[in-house]
Amino acid sequence: MKEYDIIVIGAGAGTKLVTPPSKIGKKVAVFEKETPGGTCLNRGCIPSKMVIYPSELIRMAADTEKFPVFFKEKPVADVTQIFKRVNETVKSDSDSIPIAYEKNPNIDYYPKEVRFIDSRILSDGKDTYTAKHIFVVTGTRPNIPDIPGLKNTPFWTSREALSPDKFPKSLIIIGAGFISLELGAAYKAYGCEVTGLTRTDVLRTADGEIKKELNKHLPFPIESHYQIEQVDFKDGIFTVTGINELGKKTIHSAERLLVATGIRPNTDNLGLENTKIKTNANGYIQVDDHLETAEPGIYAFGDVTGRYFFRHSANFEGEYLFDLLYGKKENQPINYPPMPEAVFTHPQIASVGFTEEELILKQIPYYKGLNPYSSSATGMARMSSSGFVKVLVSKETEQVLGAHIIGEEAANLIHQILLGMYLNAKLDDYLGMIYIHPAISEITRNAFRKVKEEKLKGAK
């Protein structure tokens, strides 16, 4: 049996527990059955944003006539070169990870699958391994719904959509979450005819007013509350048959079909049944407030725990565990700061904290301030016809309970509110600072001014 100080299963966010402890003398083994770097680097955050950004340039160019600025010709994207750059860049970054590990005498990299055969013993089918601390960071994979005919077709997941063998003229997307909205918007900008189908709402868990605004400005047509009955593939064409919201049977056809209907944890082949590690009904690993599983010395973090599904949250958890076990942090439970999220679609969306619906359900008293982009100097300059900043402030503490932004630069704009939440800033703190005029951040200030107005009305 090979013994280590640390074993990490998964070379995505798991890398947070590989190089840092190796630098303080810990002997580390890391196992990865796919390409190193995880979902974020290989088939998620990074390649998707590299695909999305050039598409935003096309959308900007298409929106200039209102100023009026005219181009003699429409911009044309060399989609083949765009995807080539994406995949070459991602491959180069991924390939560099094991090369760096090989140069480190304290790291052994194993490009293979491993599973538990006993409480603290792992096997790759040939050799066995153990360690004082074991970290399970195996992430998730696309969840494929049980739709008649689907499994017999060459459908896409996000993996194939980020590395297409040929850019399609038409695309059907099943699902209306982050992946659907981001990739669908990019494909549409590049000239693909995109149609979305979802059995629920678009961006189901978002704040209600965000969803309402998004539905007014969808980057591509999406049929919500659509019940799919059958998927067929013949002569290079996908056909999706289903019942629309009005109860009418409709048929959609396209060259490609992207299934983006959520994710499932990579826990089914880990041999967890040979340990004390517990999972919930959906297969996500259960951990305590120190990210430790029911098996002492075995920890899990990232998507596989089902708490948050962001690389930034997984990085935070990995850094916490390093400080807890090998740094100077006292034995304190993990304390998550406000956790932001963003959808890089068109229009862009960013959120943090409670939605208004959640506050109503929890009966938490709040003030609301909503300010459209158009009601600001920069909105006038940009001739903004959509978008807003919405803040939800506690009536009791006057601290921000939630914030939701839809519009240009939303993912950047929300960080101002995020910092305030982290520092427990109150309403007057946001209003007391000086904002550059006419910067886009004045939209946020105006939203807080609306909160102040609501507060003063209530005091009368």
* CATH code of 181's domain: 3.50.50.60
Confidence (pLDDT) at 43: 86
Distance CA 294, CA 232 (A): 45
Residues 6+ apart with CB under 8 A from 150: 144, 231, 259
Instruction: Render pLDDT for 152-165 as a digit per residue (tens, 0 to 9).
Output: 999 999 999 999 99
For 270-280, letters b (16+ CB in 10 Å) and e give bbbeebebebe
If you average pLDDT over every residue of the chain, what do you get?
Answer: 96
174 and 61, same structural domain?
no
List residues forming the annotated binding site: 49, 175-182, 262, 303
Confidence (pLDDT) at 459: 73
268 and 186, same structural domain?
no
422 and 303, same structural domain?
no
Confidence (pLDDT) at 365: 97
* 317 DSSP 8-state letter: H
Domain that holds residue 370: 347-459
For 12-24, letters b (16+ CB in 10 Å) and e give bbbbbbbbbbbee
Listed residues 224, 239, 261: the one ending a domain: 261
- Phi/psi at 411 (nearest 5 deg)? -65, -30
Task: Please report, rounded to a whole number, the percentage of residues in the chain having pLDDT higher than 70.
Answer: 100
In a domain, residue 237? The reply is yes
Q: Which band of pLDDT confidence, cut at 50, 70 and 90, is reported for residue 330?
A: confident
Question: Are 259 and 145 contacting, i.e. CB atoms less than 8 angstroms apart?
Answer: yes
Q: Give yes or no: 437 in active site.
A: yes
Q: Which band of pLDDT confidence, cut at 50, 70 and 90, is reported for residue 74?
A: confident
281 and 233, same structural domain?
no
Instruction: Render pLDDT for 88-99 as a digit per residue (tens, 0 to 9).
Output: 999 999 999 999
Which of 133, 225, 346, 437 is catalytic? The answer is: 437
Report helix, strand or coil for 354.
coil
In a domain, residue 249? The reply is yes
375 and 314, same structural domain?
no
Confidence (pLDDT) at 458: 79
Confidence (pLDDT) at 41: 86
Distance CA 5, CA 132 (A): 5
Distance CA 29, CA 3 (A): 9
Residues 6+ apart with CB under 8 A from 105: none
Residues 6+ apart with CB under 8 A from 356: 207, 208, 209, 366, 368, 390, 392, 402
301 pLDDT above the threshold of 70: yes
Q: Which of 403, 57, 68 is nearest to 207 (CA)?
A: 403
Mean pLDDT of 170-199: 97
In a domain, residue 289? The reply is yes
Residue with the two structure tokens 């998620």: 44
67 and 56, same structural domain?
yes
Q: Which of 74, 68, 44 is nearest to 139 (CA)?
A: 44
Packing angle of the helix pair 178-189, 45-62 (nearest 10 deg): 50
Distance CA 233, CA 238 (A): 4
Token pair in block for residue 453: 């107005």
179 pLDDT above the threshold of 70: yes
List residues forming the annotated binding site for NAD(+): 175-182, 262
Count structural domains, the chain: 3
In a domain, residue 337? The reply is no
Instruction: Render pLDDT for 401-447 as a digit per residue (tens, 0 to 9).
Output: 999 999 999 999 999 999 999 999 999 999 999 999 999 999 999 99
Distance CA 230, CA 198 (A): 14
425 and 292, same structural domain?
no
3-state secondary structure string, 319-344?
Answer: HHHHHHHHCCCCCCCCCCCCCEEEEC
269 pLDDT above the threshold of 70: yes
452 and 416, same structural domain?
yes
291 pLDDT above the threshold of 80: yes
List residues forming the annotated binding site for FAD: 49, 303
Q: Which CATH number characterizes residue 432's domain?
A: 3.30.390.30
Higher pLDDT pick, 40 / 400: 400
Confidence (pLDDT) at 460: 65
Helix (H) or strand (E) holding 415: helix 410-422
